[in-house]
Structure 1
Amino acid sequence: MFLFTPRGRSGSVGSVASTRRTSVSSDMESFRSRQPRMEGNLKWVDTLECSHEVMCCRFHPEGNVLAVGQADGTIKVFNPDTGQLLHVLSDDETIHTHLPVTSINFVIAMAGDDKIEHSHILMATYASGQIKFWHYTSGSCIHTIHEVRQTLTSAFTPSTEKFITAGADSEIHVYDTESKRKVFTCEPSDSRDLMNGHRLRVFALKFHPYEPNIFISGGWDDTVQFWDLRQKGSTRSLFGPHICGDALDIDPVHNHILTGSWRKENTLQIWDFNNGAKIKDVPIDHMHSSLLYCAQWLGKDYMVCGGCDHNMAMVIDRGTLNVTGQVYDLPQGVYCVDSTKTGAIHKLAIGSEHQVHIVKNEKK
């Protein structure tokens, strides 16, 4: 077991207008009085301090930049290797609305596009309904879309030619990346006898890595819906996961879906993408259990998840289903995790309260 003391850089205590369900624990003050702890195969790298509650985070695909979305609508961009704060992204609109950043995606230029203005771009969604494109090295907002709802999640097609957003209603909007115009809306039919879409708010979207028009979604209605961008309603669905955050992922090697649910039992589950059948419930004992906000595959051998109740994040071996590493005794629930996608050793970002803990997952 390893006890680490975060190195502070800057930070102040702020309030949050969260769009997610939060748990109120009677022993919250005892959590706040402890230092986070870590054990297993995880190695602490750094702790990044933020000025407000951390709601989402995303590594650049090359792993050299980490963007962190805060509850006040500010995005902080860090160098995850040095911990240096590189850029702070906000404008008059985000300052005025003062609502959380709900998702971040780096916009990778399409093959053959060498225009300098198409590099160093990220897209962020906000609980205010704003969708903003930032040139993050200059700190400039280059485009804003306004949706009349809380926008809670987003995803790009593998080619980045289109992107989709979802939120506090049943509609999934499809946009053209270059023009920023909405070109289509995926939504359920009006018939209550036909389950071809969501009935409650949507918190997670994920495109299939090899099928450019196929994506899945999850939310509060306990379903994962399968969609084709060329069709209005979903093509099929599976029932079970209660998703309240970025807790939906597709494994490109085995074509398996990973879901994390905000509930006490059967929180982490693996499904077959092809037929929607459940492959297994990942067994998590009481000492390791949390109501999950986030989950994703970690390379080809592991999965990582985090949540509240026990306020922890853990890495689980895909083959043995054993917990190989965990960060626990965090002051608040884990709203977000992300991992680097390159290199032999994956680096993890774990967001809790006003901090992002950077750790490495090392095999022993």
Structure 2
Amino acid sequence: MASSVYTIPNFSRFSVFTYSRFNLSESESDICVFIKEYKDRIKRQLLREEENDKTPFISFAEKKPSSANVAWLNENYKRFFQYTPNESVLKLHFLSDLGFINCMVYSPDGNFIVVGHSSGLIQMRHGQTGVVLYTLRNIQFPPKPIYSICFSRLDDKVCYASCMDGTVYRIEIPNMNFSTEEVPKYCIRTDPGLESLNMQFYGAPGMSTHAQPFISQRSPALSMGVTADESKMVVGYGDTSIKIYDMETQEAEATFKVHKLRLQFIPKKLQRMHFGQVCAMRCHDQKPYMFATGAWDKTLRIWDVRCKVGCVMTFEGVDICSDSIDLNREQCIAGSWLPTEALGVWDLTARKRLNIIRVQNRRPDVDGEYIYACRYWRSNQFNRKGKYAVIGGSGTNCVEVINLHNRYITCSYPAPGTVLAITSHEERIAFGGTAPVFNIVSFHDPKHEKYESPEDAEYDITKSVTLFRDDSDSICSKSEVDGTKSVMAAASNAASMTAPSMISRVSVGAAASQKLA
């Protein structure tokens, strides 16, 4: 019997059993490639510095000036820059080592601002001057951007930040002795214990003033909010899901997500979940069960924590591309990335859109609105009813305070670059975006000034004239009475003909005389 030999064919040249982004062998890893790339970038940076070519720190995304700007600079070089020492004007740097400002929020008392950057940095700044008080740096590489920040409803020293790595961090704000009344000229502080966003403990963690991972998921956390009673935390992710967590157990109580393949079997009127990235979220300040979300599926949805099926209201045609929604009482505003009619107001009680804000006094050279950030002006004294809204984007090149009642721009502030984040507290408005500039401005509407005459300073004419004498004396004669009447009539006519400015001067003089007396 002849013996048969079976040979195994060699498919090693045609089949790849392992897959890698860089087609590496089994002995190599992606970490080595990352370190090698980073090393090469540092070498290129050193070569540029040796050639006296001033460039910023190598960023992950770099935008070069357009050809039109370069042509204009070359044409006007002899006119503006030939004999000037400021050579860096010829180079337009759009990024810094901090990255874009993606989000910011004022503290409840307005003493400081917490700012989140695209480079993974979180900075706490002074609420009035904007100087840096401390900085949190992420230890992971490459760093992931921070997309939303919100403060705790119960504790002013705790805030939460959602990151692109899918983690919601809990930040403990240290006790620092500073106030907004005594404004420091230079106030830059730092703490070595705050130089990390996440730390790994191999035992029982002690008391530390840094950011700890509060909730972790695989999908990027793009938006976040805390309910009014701080019993729930709502997080919107990049995989179109919305999860409601319990603040004590940190476990998901409800998850709202629908697969794209199932949408074709669900009628459009019955779709009660997002099928796009949830990029905007806002919890109601008074109602602990209500929150609003916006996604890339061009819908604005209102949710109820008690409803486990889905949203309770859906408004279509809202092209939200960033955190540009806000709630106040029974109304909701949303900014869309549209050239015109980008700002809308919705009534949550009537479940319909109230109006589209078509601004009447905007300058004619604006190409479009393209709103990225939209917020109500947070002022307990002048804007409790939601009369003013603050918007910013990439079309107007400025931040505008709009009166929603008469659809007029009350005030506008020029912005260097695209505006991505806006926050406000009383008369102060802070904003930032793609440009490496942090802005704090003050807003005051002259319509809030009302003429109020001091009550104590009013001068009573009848006190200086007496019609009757003392009881011991006899009654005055008729001529004296007629004379006093004529004096009173002349004084009353003079008081009615005086201007308001003259009245204010007289009242101030009377008050000064009373103080001297």
- TM-score interval, smaller chain: 0.7 to 0.9
**AA matched with 1:295:** C
**AA matched with 1:209:** D
**TM-score scaled by length of structure 2:** 0.57
Q: Assess if the C-alpha contact under 8 Å between 2:167 and 2:213 holds in 1.
A: no
The alignment status of 1:258 with 2:303, answered yes or no, reads no
Find the partner of 1:74 among 105, 121, 124: 121
Residue 214 (structure 1) shift:
1.7
Q: Structure 2: how far apart are the matches of 1:201 and 1:26?
A: 34
The alignment status of 1:351 with 2:425, answered yes or no, reads no
Q: Structure 2: how far apart are the matches of 1:158 and 1:28?
A: 49
Q: Structure 1: how far apart are the matches of 2:310 and 2:258?
A: 5
Equivalent residue pairs, number? 316
| Structure 2 residue aligned with 1:184 | 254
CA deviations on 1:268-296 (whole Å, 9 max, x unpaired) are: 01111123311111113454542011111
Find the partner of 1:360 among 442, 455, 472: 442
| Structure 1 residue aligned with 2:317 | 240
**AA matched with 1:70:** H
CA deviations on 1:275-327 (whole Å, 9 max, x unpaired) are: 33111111134545420111111133311100013332110112221111112
The alignment status of 1:291 with 2:370, answered yes or no, reads yes
Q: Assess if the C-alpha contact under 8 Å between 1:17 and 1:99 holds in 2.
A: no
> Which region of structure 1 is more displaced relative to structure 2, 156-165 or 128-137?
128-137
Q: Structure 1: how far apart are the matches of 2:70 and 2:405?
A: 37
| Structure 2 residue aligned with 1:278 | 353
Q: Assess if the C-alpha contact under 8 Å between 2:281 and 2:292 holds in 1.
A: yes
CA distance change for structure 1 residues 75 and 195 in 2, over 3 Å: closer, same or farther?
A: same
CA deviations on 1:231-265 (whole Å, 9 max, x unpaired) are: 1311221112111112111122xx11101001112
**TM-score scaled by length of structure 1:** 0.79
CA distance change for structure 1 residues 305 and 148 in 2, over 3 Å: closer, same or farther?
A: same
CA distance change for structure 1 residues 315 and 161 in 2, over 3 Å: closer, same or farther?
A: same
CA deviations on 1:100-124 (whole Å, 9 max, x unpaired) are: 1000011232xxxxxxxx6521110
Higher relative contact order (CA 8 A, sep 6+): 1
| Structure 2 residue aligned with 1:133 | 170
| Structure 2 residue aligned with 1:201 | 277
Q: Structure 1: how far apart are the matches of 2:350 and 2:271?
A: 17
> Which region of structure 1 is more displaced relative to structure 2, 278-287 or 58-67?
278-287
**AA matched with 1:101:** I
Q: Counterparts of 1:72-221 in structure 2 under 5 Å? A: 72-93=119-140, 96-109=141-154, 120-137=157-174, 139=194, 140-188=210-258, 190=262, 191-193=265-267, 194-221=270-297
Q: Assess if the C-alpha contact under 8 Å between 2:289 and 2:305 holds in 1.
A: yes
SS in 2 for 1:92: coil
Q: Structure 2: how far apart are the matches of 1:71 and 1:105?
A: 17
Q: Structure 1: how far apart are the matches of 2:387 and 2:314?
A: 27
Q: Structure 2: how far apart are the matches of 1:108 and 1:360?
A: 26
Q: Assess if the C-alpha contact under 8 Å between 2:153 and 2:228 holds in 1.
A: no
Q: Structure 2: how far apart are the matches of 1:260 and 1:27?
A: 31
Q: Structure 2: how far apart are the matches of 1:14 and 1:56?
A: 23
Residue 29 (structure 1) shift:
7.7
**AA matched with 2:343:** L
> Which region of structure 1 is more displaced relative to structure 2, 142-151 or 164-173?
142-151
SS in 2 for 1:348: strand
Q: Assess if the C-alpha contact under 8 Å between 2:245 and 2:253 holds in 1.
A: yes
| Structure 1 residue aligned with 2:391 | 305
Q: Assess if the C-alpha contact under 8 Å between 1:89 and 1:136 holds in 2.
A: no
Residue 16 (structure 1) shift:
5.6
Structure 2: which 5+ runs fail to align?
1-55, 74-95, 175-192, 195-209, 378-382, 447-517
SS in 1 for 2:438: strand
The alignment status of 1:15 with 2:59, answered yes or no, reads yes
The alignment status of 1:326 with 2:412, answered yes or no, reads yes
Q: Counterparts of 1:220-231 in structure 2 under 5 Å? A: 220-230=296-306, 231=308
Residue 144 (structure 1) shift:
3.7
CA distance change for structure 1 residues 128 and 88 in 2, over 3 Å: closer, same or farther?
A: same
Query: What is the aligned-residue identity percentage?
Result: 23
**AA matched with 1:130:** T
| Structure 2 residue aligned with 1:41 | none
CA deviations on 1:188-223 (whole Å, 9 max, x unpaired) are: 484432311111111111223332112111121111
CA deviations on 1:325-352 (whole Å, 9 max, x unpaired) are: 1122x33210010111xx4xx2111112
CA distance change for structure 1 residues 308 and 188 in 2, over 3 Å: closer, same or farther?
A: same
CA deviations on 1:149-170 (whole Å, 9 max, x unpaired) are: 1211101101111111102122
CA distance change for structure 1 residues 181 and 119 in 2, over 3 Å: closer, same or farther?
A: farther
CA distance change for structure 1 residues 77 and 280 in 2, over 3 Å: closer, same or farther?
A: same
Q: Structure 1: how far apart are the matches of 2:61 and 2:409?
A: 33
Q: Assess if the C-alpha contact under 8 Å between 2:151 and 2:158 holds in 1.
A: yes
Q: Which is higher, the Rg of structure 1 or of structure 2?
A: 2
| Structure 2 residue aligned with 1:55 | 102
**AA matched with 2:144:** L
Q: Structure 2: how far apart are the matches of 1:323 and 1:13?
A: 39
Q: Assess if the C-alpha contact under 8 Å between 2:160 and 2:171 holds in 1.
A: yes
Q: Structure 1: how far apart are the matches of 2:60 and 2:104?
A: 16
SS in 1 for 2:374: strand
CA distance change for structure 1 residues 187 and 305 in 2, over 3 Å: closer, same or farther?
A: same
Q: Structure 1: how far apart are the matches of 2:68 and 2:369?
A: 15
CA distance change for structure 1 residues 212 and 256 in 2, over 3 Å: closer, same or farther?
A: same
Q: Structure 2: how far apart are the matches of 1:207 and 1:26?
A: 44
The alignment's C-alpha RMSD in Å is 2.8
CA distance change for structure 1 residues 187 and 82 in 2, over 3 Å: closer, same or farther?
A: same
Q: Assess if the C-alpha contact under 8 Å between 1:223 and 1:241 holds in 2.
A: yes
Q: Structure 1: how far apart are the matches of 2:250 and 2:112?
A: 24
